[in-house]
Amino acid sequence: MTRPFLPAVACLLLAAPAMAQVAPQASIAEMATTPLVKLQISETLRTPPDEASITVGTQVRAPTATQASAESKAKTERLLATIRRAGIRERDTQTQGIQLQPEYQWIAEPAGGRGRQVFQGYVATNSIQIKTRDIDRLTGLLDTLTTAGADSVYGPNFSIADPLPLRAEARRRALVRAQSEALEYARAQGFTRVTLLSVEEGTSHRGTEVIVSGNRLLSADGAPPPPPPAPERGGGDGIVAPGLLETGVSLNLIYRMER
């Protein structure tokens, strides 16, 4: 018979959750002796973009779908040849979409009639996205592409090819500023130093366009941005104004005040 042991087992099962809830916690006296400082620090660097993406498209109208497709193919091949001659690499050239659809025109009936659709032919379109790092000659590239047969141009969309060095510098600056601010809090309360206990990085960001004036491009605090270096450009490239992009980090930090 095992009944005499059931109460003991039940007691152990009931006691287990209570024991699991016990966790070491700092006492009020310990917290007063070494209080904590929690900070949220954001740091942002601004630098000129070093690459740009453009989407160019061709459009052809023809009476038949076969003719529209053939003419669109020939026109797109000429455009691709021009893109290659302009120095755009194959890996930076990508087809975005090919479309073939019928085209209709709405004809209104006289004397208030309902009107009707009249078939006009077919429209073939082809769009290609390219990426270039020669931003200073972007306007010239756009002129070359439109001359070669591009009927539409979308962009440019500016970006930074390698944001990691900028993000690393933003982290470094954020940590320096956080240490300074935490120490300021500590000294105001009669403590002499702080010790970093934890760091949590929030959402990093990149690619926000900033409108600027002038040619000298500097970071937020006036110091030159880290590598890749911010090139000092001339008076611009026609209608293209790259501006500045922001790259930054947000940190949550906990410091302990010490005497």
Burial of 56 (0-12, 13-18, 19+ CB in 10 A): buried
Global confidence as pTM: 0.66
Report pLDDT digits (tens) over 15-67.
444 444 444 455 666 666 789 999 999 999 999 999 999 999 999 999 999 99
pLDDT score recorded for residue 2: 41
Q: How far apart are the C-alpha atoms of 233 and 216, rounded to whole Å?
A: 8
Report pLDDT digits (tens) over 219-257.
333 343 444 444 444 444 567 888 899 999 999 999 999
Q: How far apart are the C-alpha atoms of 107 and 200, rounded to whole Å?
A: 64
What is the band of 203 on the pLDDT scale with cuts at 50, 70, 90?
A: low
Q: Which amino acid is at 183?
A: L
Place of tokens 């076969």: 66
The three-point CA angle 152-156-157 to 5° equals: 130
Report pLDDT digits (tens) over 124-136.
999 999 999 999 8
- The b-or-e profile of 180-197 (16+ CB within 10 A means b, else e) is ebbbebbeeeebeebeee
Q: Which amino acid is at 224?
A: P
